[in-house]
Amino acid sequence: YELLSLFTPMNILQKRLIAAGLSSVLAVAAVTQIIPQEGQIVDNQGNHVAYIDMVGVATACWGLKGKDMHGNRIVPGTKYTQQECETTLVKDLKKFNDTVNKAVTVEMKPYEEIAYTSLAWNIGTAAFSNSTLVKQLNAGDREAACKGILDWNRATFSSHGAKTQIKNGEKCTVKKDGNYSCTVRGLTNRRNHEFEVCEGRDAEVNAALKELEALEKPSEAIKEWRSELPPAPVETNVPS
């Protein structure tokens, strides 16, 4: 019955991302954290349509900003295929994960790596590497590091945008450049989710990681089972 775990229904997109070169853990990060959390617009043909996010930045696929996979400036309305977006996600997620592993000098649990990679994807590699939570994590204070994720729930707005945020019940503080740093409900929800993942309390992530563990175990079980088989009978030529 243990062999049945070989056929557990892993997310189809997760399978494609692994086949494209993502590690199993990063594929879990992609399908449980990054893709669900990033805004996206998809047309009737399944193409991703570039859009302007809530802080006025042109965005494509799943959080891609600046230039697209072809080196062109992202323009709202430009369409990208699912394949283009998946290929870019694999390439970029590896880079962000590399940054996380370079910044963090202690061994991370899979769920911690998922949470911190998701955070770095959203706030940027420089902000993550220089953050207080990385210092806390490297010092061995895992609890404080996970709680530090919750601090990253703000975005920069103009005075007009800040008024809208305040009307929506968010908190804003003025910055030196005259803009405003405001809490964002979507970011607060995202940070709360990553915090739960970081502490190993997210059911979806834990189930996905458990499935990966189950997929790895049968291969070892099969090896052990095969090693216990009696040797194959030696064929002998019996005269007729």
**pLDDT tens, residue by residue, 104-156:** 999 999 999 999 999 999 999 999 999 999 999 999 999 999 999 999 999 99
What pLDDT sits at residue 12?
86
Q: What is the pLDDT of residue 55?
A: 85
Q: What is the mean pLDDT of the chain?
A: 88
Q: How far is CA 67 from CA 64, 95, 121, in A?
A: 8, 16, 16
pLDDT tens across 13-38, in order? 888 999 999 999 999 999 999 999 99
- Rounded to whole angstroms, the Cα distance separating 26 from 101 reads 12
Spatial separation of the C-alpha atoms in residues 112 and 129, rounded to whole Å: 15
The single residue listed with the structure tokens 């005075």 is 159
* Residue range 170-175: mean pLDDT, rounded: 97
> The pTM is what?
0.83
Cβ-Cβ contacts under 8 Å for 57 (sequence gap 6 or more) = 65
Cα distances (Å, whole numbers) of residue 200 to 145, 184, 212: 13, 24, 16
pLDDT score, position 225: 45
**Measured distance CA(239)–CA(27) in Å, rounded:** 60
Predicted pLDDT of residue 9: 46
